[in-house]
Amino acid sequence: MAYTEEELKKELETKEYEYGFYTDIESDTLPKGLNEDIVIAISKKKGEPQWMTDWRLDAFRIWKDMEEPEWPNVTYEKPDFQNISYYSAPNKKPKYNSLDEVDPELLETFKKLGISIDEQKKLAGVAVDIVMDSVSVATTFKKTLAEKGIIFCSISEAIQEHPELVKKYLGTVVPKKDNFYAALNSAVFSDGSFCYIPKGVRCPMELSTYFRINEAGTGQFERTLVIADEESYVSYLEGCTAPMRDENQLHAAVVELIAMDDAEIKYSTVQNWFPGDKNGKGGVFNFVTKRGLCEKNAKISWTQVETGSAVTWKYPSCVLKGNNSIGEFYSIAVTNNFQQADTGTKMIHLGKNTKSTIISKGISAGKSQNSYRGLVKVNSRAENARNFSQCDSLLMGNECGAHTFPYIEASNKSAQIEHEATTSKIGEDQIFYCNQRGIDTEKAIALIVNGFSKEVLNKLPMEFAVEAQKLLEISLEGSVG
Amino acid sequence: MLRIKDLHASVEDKKILKGINLEVNAGEVHAIMGPNGSGKSTLAEVIAGHEEYEVKKGSIELDGEDLEDMAPEERAHSGIFLSFQYPVEIPGVSVTNFMKTAINESRKARGLEDMPANEMLKLIREKSELLDIDRKFLSRSLNEGFSGGEKKRNEIFQMAMLEPKLAILDETDSGLDIDALRIVANGVNKLRSEDRAIVVITHYQRLLDYIVPDYVHVLHDGKIVKSGGKELAVELEAKGYDWIKQETVA
């Protein structure tokens, strides 16, 4: 049953068409600035139904009257929102003709991560011949999912094909008016992923946006919606360990998770957007709103490894609405050079016997600033709610900063909340000890950092964990003189 | 094997070693004794290449090769092992993982591939049996929450794993009760061999009851002021360090 190469090529071509990719790039970028006409134009370009256009317009009107938040512990030049183009069709034209034209530093990093040549080409934007493997994997993959009734597609496709689900759930966990960037995303989101797991189904494989690389480019304003119906289970992987370079400076994604009664969602992220150069020039601003809703006995685990972006502002949260529901947050945030991260979580306990766990590991090097910000809120009706939080910071050098901002609001006397925090520094004595055993300084740091992050790395799916480990090493390279 | 000639070393312009001469051959065990602050630990760290110290004068050679321009890890690769007086903790890194990394880094330096996992396991089993170490111990985080005795045993286990040419044991007896001391000393004795040199640094003679040295040197104020056989340690124990101090002044 082997495909011929011709057939594959044809299939890919039709796919592109299916998802509304255009070859004429020049004419497909909207003018800079944001107003109602632009919002309508975006919706039109994507061929969306009227209800979606109205939804976007509503979000835009809310956004217009909002102000950019000032409270995160980061400083950056505020983007000029009228100087951004909010829509350009995914760029399908290769940027380079061969790998020789690509920045050698980038290639070196690919090599260290063990990324295959074909994948390297794809990531760097080099023209690729059709790779038999990845296409056939994607095809088998889709078939298996379809058999189980699992829907996994782009959000644009879901709006067309499954409007009843999108209509019902979009914006229910992260409302349009939630915050400045969520409102902006709601108005102009470019694309993203949609996933629905039917009642009682255990998704047989890790769902990964990786499989969708061919089908939709990740946009500036990504929108993800994952719905796990009753008694279902899904593990979802987002992102890529390979460095993502993007000319768009501002990224504002929204991710919504819905775990119905007895369902479980594991959501793992490895984020490695371009952090800017060693002097702090350039780099992506990553302002993300991620939130999950747990119904009765449901469980949501967020696991994230954050190494990229110049400025990060991100708090994957859980609303523990149903009784006995569980929320977990495991995070490693690395900042080096001039990076700034303000990240953490919110655990909102509404139901009885709800439990949450927060394990946050911050690693700061260079002149970077790394903040943990977390809220544990126990509602008056949430009997016997429990939380355990642990925030550890590791400092390298004398010019970086680690900050912890824990907020606790308990309105029920039966709540049990524990918070532990430590700050440590990679000591010269630790380095010398490793050196004396034959381990050079760079490797020693990697070893110490991996040890420090182990509790979180262990939560990642196996192959992701291995990549994440390498990524930590690379992110901290050259951070000790 | 180890040849130290007229070694002077300082930390932040404070002179600590003031002309050390020492020669240690393969198969020999040398003890270096001396009062607190005489420069014993400094000597150990200078040989290992600690960057805090500045070598002002003199040389250290291992098998005829000058160590001056070698980084600590390069010295380790060429066969120098230091058992630390205060082994450091590395949370989240198991003893096994640490040893695996150390061994493979040394192999890499010699142009060898990583040691295959089954060989590594065999080596670990062999060495832990030799030193009577419970293998559960090896999956614990390096030195984290270890008792004084466990830390020192772990140092000796690492020495067994890395099979150095020259092992320097810096106050391996400090903080150990008599039972732990016996266990650690037995471990070291098992690692004595024809082609290995061992330098034992200690404040007290009691360790030398268990690890019997071929030579004893007394360090005082950055210099070796007296050398002799194992009986020197006994004499020193009987007369105290004041005896040495007086002799040097006189």
Tell me the shortest Cα–Cα distance from B144 to chain A, in angstroms: 12
pLDDT of residue B243: 83
Q: Let me know: does A226 contact A236? Beta carbons within 8 Å.
A: yes
pLDDT of residue A209: 61
Q: Phi and psi for A282 in degrees, rounded to 5?
A: 75, -160
**Higher pLDDT among residues A73 and B171, named by residue:** B171
Residue type present at position A235: S
Where residue B62 falls among pLDDT bands split at 50, 70, 90?
Answer: very high
**Higher pLDDT among residues A130 and B107, named by residue:** B107
pLDDT of residue A248: 60
Q: Do A437 and B162 make contact, defined as CB atoms within 8 angstroms?
A: yes
What separation in angstroms does the CA of A243 have from each of A99, A473, A475?
A: 16, 13, 10
Where residue A1 falls among pLDDT bands split at 50, 70, 90?
Answer: very low
pLDDT of residue A22: 28
Instruction: List, in sequence order, every residue forming a beta bridge with A237; answer none if it has no partner.
Output: A208, A268
Tell me the shortest Cα–Cα distance from B23 to chain A, in angstroms: 22
Q: Let me know: does A28 contact A22? Beta carbons within 8 Å.
A: yes
Query: CA-CA distance, B93 to A406, in Å (whole number)?
Result: 28
Stretch among A84-88, A272-276, B86-90 having the lowest mean pLDDT: A84-88
Q: Do B91 and A452 make contact, defined as CB atoms within 8 angstroms?
A: yes
Q: Let me know: does A242 contact A272? Beta carbons within 8 Å.
A: yes
What separation in angstroms does the CA of A207 have from each of A191, A196, A234, A237, B107?
A: 17, 11, 8, 6, 39
pLDDT of residue A438: 97
pLDDT over 70 at B56, yes or no: yes
Where residue A480 falls among pLDDT bands split at 50, 70, 90?
Answer: low
What architecture is the B2-249 domain classified under in CATH?
A: 3-Layer(aba) Sandwich (3.40)
pLDDT of residue A440: 94
Per-residue pLDDT, averaged over A99-108, amounts to: 67
pLDDT one-digit tens code per residue, B77-111? 999 999 999 999 999 999 999 999 999 999 999 99
Where residue A75 falls among pLDDT bands split at 50, 70, 90?
Answer: confident
pLDDT over 90 at B55, yes or no: yes
Task: Pick B92's closest partner by Cβ from A435, A441, A454.
Answer: A454
Query: CA-CA distance, B55 to B47, in Å (whole number)?
Result: 10
Q: Let me know: does B39 contact B99? Beta carbons within 8 Å.
A: no
pLDDT of residue A387: 97
pLDDT of residue A203: 92
Per-residue pLDDT, averaged over A298-322, amounts to: 92
Q: Do B92 and A450 make contact, defined as CB atoms within 8 angstroms?
A: yes
pLDDT over 50 at A135, yes or no: no
Chain B environment of A430 (Cβ under 8 Å): 88-90
Q: Do A440 and B71 make contact, defined as CB atoms within 8 angstroms?
A: yes
Where residue B169 falls among pLDDT bands split at 50, 70, 90?
Answer: very high
Where residue A97 falls among pLDDT bands split at 50, 70, 90?
Answer: low
pLDDT of residue A431: 94
Give chain B's radius of gyration (CA, Å).
18
pLDDT of residue A128: 42
**Three-state SS sequence of chain A:** CCCCHHHHHHHHHHHHHHCCCCCCCHHHECCCCCCHHHHHHHHHHCCCCHHHHHHHHHHHHHHHCCCCCCCCCCCCCCCCHHHCCCCECCCCCCCECCHHHCCHHHHHHHHHHCCCHHHHHHHHCECCCCCHHHHHHHHHHHHHHHHCCCEEEEHHHHHHHCHHHHHHHCCCCCCCCCCHHHHHHHHHCCECEEEEECCCCECCCCEEHHHHCCCCCCCCCEEEEEEECCCCEEEEEEECCCCECCCCCEECCEEEEEECCCCEEEEEEEECECCCCCCCCCCCEEEEEEEEEECCCCEEEEEEEECCCCEEEECCEEEECCCCCEEEEEEEEEECCCCEEEEEEEEEECCCCCEEEEEEEEEECCCCEEEEEEEEEECCCCCCCEEEEEEEEEECCCCCEEEEEEEEEECCCCCEEEEEEEEEECCHHHHHHHHHCCCCHHHHHHHHHHHHHHHHHCCCCHHHHHHHHHHHHHHCCCCCC
Q: Do B102 and A439 make contact, defined as CB atoms within 8 angstroms?
A: yes
Q: Phi and psi for B192 in degrees, rounded to 5?
A: -70, 140
pLDDT of residue B102: 97
Chain A environment of B98 (Cβ under 8 Å): 437, 447
| Domain extent listing, chain B | 2-249
Task: For chain A, list residues whose CB is within 8 angstroms of any CB belonging to chain B.
Answer: 427-430, 432-441, 443, 447-448, 450-455
Query: CA-CA distance, A349 to A411, in Å (whole number)?
Result: 10
Task: Pick B101's closest partner by Cβ from A430, A441, A443.
Answer: A443
Inter-residue long-range contacts of A164-170, CB under 8 Å, 24+ positions, other chains counted = A165/A194, A165/A196, A165/A227, A166/A52, A166/A194, A166/A225, A167/A51, A169/A225, A169/A227, A169/A256, A169/A258, A170/A55, A170/A225, A170/A256
| Domain extent listing, chain A | 143-177+189-426
Per-residue pLDDT, averaged over A342-367, amounts to: 95
Q: Do A453 and B109 make contact, defined as CB atoms within 8 angstroms?
A: no
pLDDT over 60 at A89, yes or no: no
Tokens 């994997």 correspond to what residue?
A: A137
pLDDT over 50 at A2, yes or no: no
pLDDT one-digit tens code per residue, A162-216? 999 999 999 999 999 999 999 999 999 988 889 999 999 999 888 876 443 333 3
Nearest by Cα to B42 from B158, B164, B170, B167: B170
Q: Phi and psi for B81 in degrees, rounded to 5?
A: -125, 135
pLDDT of residue A132: 35
Query: CA-CA distance, A294 to A325, in Å (whole number)?
Result: 6
Where residue A336 falls among pLDDT bands split at 50, 70, 90?
Answer: confident
Chain A environment of B102 (Cβ under 8 Å): 434, 437-439
pLDDT of residue B120: 93
Tell me the shortest Cα–Cα distance from B173 to chain A, in angstroms: 19
- Supply the mean pLDDT for chain B: 93
Tell me the shortest Cα–Cα distance from B241 to chain A, in angstroms: 30
Total beta-carbon pairs less than 8 A apart between chain A and chain B = 74
pLDDT of residue A113: 61
**Higher pLDDT among residues A83 and A421, named by residue:** A421
Q: Do B72 and A432 make contact, defined as CB atoms within 8 angstroms?
A: yes
Where residue B53 falls among pLDDT bands split at 50, 70, 90?
Answer: very high
Chain B environment of A448 (Cβ under 8 Å): 90, 93
pLDDT one-digit tens code per residue, A136-163? 455 567 778 889 999 988 888 899 999 9
pLDDT one-digit tens code per residue, B126-149? 999 988 888 888 999 999 999 998
pLDDT over 50 at A130, yes or no: no
Per-residue pLDDT, averaged over A311-321, amounts to: 94
Stretch among A2-6, A418-422, A465-469 having the lowest mean pLDDT: A2-6
pLDDT of residue A57: 96
**Higher pLDDT among residues A244 and A406, named by residue:** A406
Tell me the shortest Cα–Cα distance from A437 to chain B, in angstroms: 6
Q: Which two tokens stand for residue A419?
A: 């918070």
- Supply the mean pLDDT for chain A: 82
Q: Judging by DSSP bridges, how do beta strands B2-11 and B54-62 pair with one another?
A: antiparallel
Query: CA-CA distance, A289 to A178, in Å (whole number)?
Result: 9
Query: CA-CA distance, B234 to B225, in Å (whole number)?
Result: 16
Tell me the shortest Cα–Cα distance from B209 to chain A, in angstroms: 28
Chain A environment of B162 (Cβ under 8 Å): 437-438
Task: Pick A438's closest partner by Cβ from B51, B77, B91.
Answer: B77
pLDDT one-digit tens code per residue, A111-122? 666 666 666 655
Where residue A68 falls among pLDDT bands split at 50, 70, 90?
Answer: confident
- Which of residues 72 through 101 in chain B touch A, CB cutoff 8 A? 72-73, 75-77, 81-82, 84, 86-93, 97-98, 101
Tell me the shortest Cα–Cα distance from B170 to chain A, in angstroms: 13
pLDDT over 90 at A76, yes or no: no
Where residue A243 falls among pLDDT bands split at 50, 70, 90?
Answer: low
pLDDT of residue A286: 87
Determine the straight-line distance between the first and last CA of chain A, rounded to whole angstroms: 57
CA atoms within a 13 Å half-sphere pointing along the CA-CB vector of A310: 20
